[in-house]
Structure 1
Amino acid sequence: MKELLLFLSCVLCVSADAQHSDITIIGCSNSDGEYMLGMDGEEIGYADFNKQEFIYPQPPFVDPMTIPGVYAQAVGEQQTCRENMKRFGKGMKDYPPEHDAPSAVMIYTRDEVEFGEKNTLICHVTGFYPAPVNVSWTKNGQKFTGSSINVPYPNKDGTFTQISRLQFTPQLGDIYSCAVQHLALTQPLTKICEVEASAQSDPGVGPAVFCGVGLTVGLVGVAVGTFFLIKGNECS
């Protein structure tokens, strides 16, 4: 990696019975930074240092939450993080970086599929280290923009999870894909979803999205690469 990235996390139990657990993620590099708060495996919010504000990404049905002074605290933590990065970087410069490829990539829809009705495709990536991954989307082989992705969330084993979301309107025959790029992957890992009718002979049966996975692998000495498309589990 051209830039040294430092992550610090802190897990606190709010009671002796460990009914809830909080987590704080502080990350920094020479050009970027991260500050995220979570509880019980869910993201409470994160600092957006470009917008200079703290973002609360909860859905509308959740009671709104604000934490006074949290953005100022995040800025202060970035200064501390960069000082630590300078010290740790000198002592750890000879250690080879650890790279773990994503252990699982899943693609599915948020709601039951209906033709012409807006929906959300979700690409769930987990088990990778270090963070982050890059997720890109295509529709019928063409690049599709407008997706979003959350900040990396830590797993209990030290790896990370990220979720990318894409708003779409299902139409018969459309094929969507999400391609995941990571330092430990030599080629992107691609998940594919195809919008099809559940049963062509029964007009009363609605559409469905069928998902598969294709991994592009370079083979030494092979002049022509072959793309494998495996249609797998139904996503609906």
Structure 2
Amino acid sequence: MMRSLILLSLGLLCAANPSPPQVVVYTYKPMEKGETNTLLCHAKEFNPPNIELQLYADGNPFSDANQTDLSFESNWKFKLTTFIELIPREDVEYSCHVTHMGRTNIYKLESF
């Protein structure tokens, strides 16, 4: 009961001040040919907290990507990161599709 009340209160607070996410797609370390790396999609400063992040390679979604727990900052805006370990290839376009408040935007990883 108490958890439901907290979630309801949080939802009402979020609905009062919606803001779109700031998104960046990047790799954990500089890309080197043939080297394992981590591809990340980080969204921050968004409200309400309902959001979906999906990583893609050449338009095909990764089904085995991981995701952090949703968290928030002191300003009640949220952040979330999706990531996957891979060996990046120069001939592949990596992107992150972000759906928030019924709108989907595509963010691309800068190439090698």
Counterpart amino acid of 1:125?
A
The offset of 1:182, in angstroms, is: 1.1
Alignment match, 1:100: 19
SS of residue matched to 1:81: helix
What do residues 164-191 of structure 1 show as CA deviations (whole Å, max 9, x unaligned)? Answer: 11222111211011011112xx421211
- Supply the distance in 2 between the matched residues of 1:194 and 1:127 (Cα, whole angstroms): 22
Alignment match, 1:188: 104
The offset of 1:194, in angstroms, is: 4.8
TM-score, length of structure 2 as denominator length: 0.81
Of residues 155, 163, 173, the one that matches 2:81 is 163
What do residues 70-123 of structure 1 show as CA deviations (whole Å, max 9, x unaligned)? Answer: xxxxxxxxx5313x36x96xxx7xx9x333221x10111101211121110111
Aligned residues: 107
Of residues 110, 113, 117, the one that matches 2:28 is 110
Query: Which of the pair is proportionally richer in helix?
Result: 2
Flag as ranges the 4+ runs of structure 1 deviating above 4 A.
none
Counterpart amino acid of 2:103?
Q
- The structure showing larger relative contact order (alpha-carbon pairs under 8 Å, at least 6 residues apart) is 2
- Supply the distance in 1 between the matched residues of 2:61 and 2:26 (Cα, whole angstroms): 19
Aligned ranges for residues 77-226 of structure 1 at < 5 Å?
79-82=1-4, 84=5, 97-98=15-16, 99-102=18-21, 104-183=22-101, 186-195=102-111, 208=112
What do residues 109-140 of structure 1 show as CA deviations (whole Å, max 9, x unaligned)? Answer: 10121112111011110111121321112111
Please say which structure displays the higher CA radius of gyration: 1
RMSD: 2.3
The offset of 1:161, in angstroms, is: 0.8
Do the aligned partners of 1:173 and 1:194 also contact (CA within 8 Å) in 2? no
The offset of 1:146, in angstroms, is: 1.2
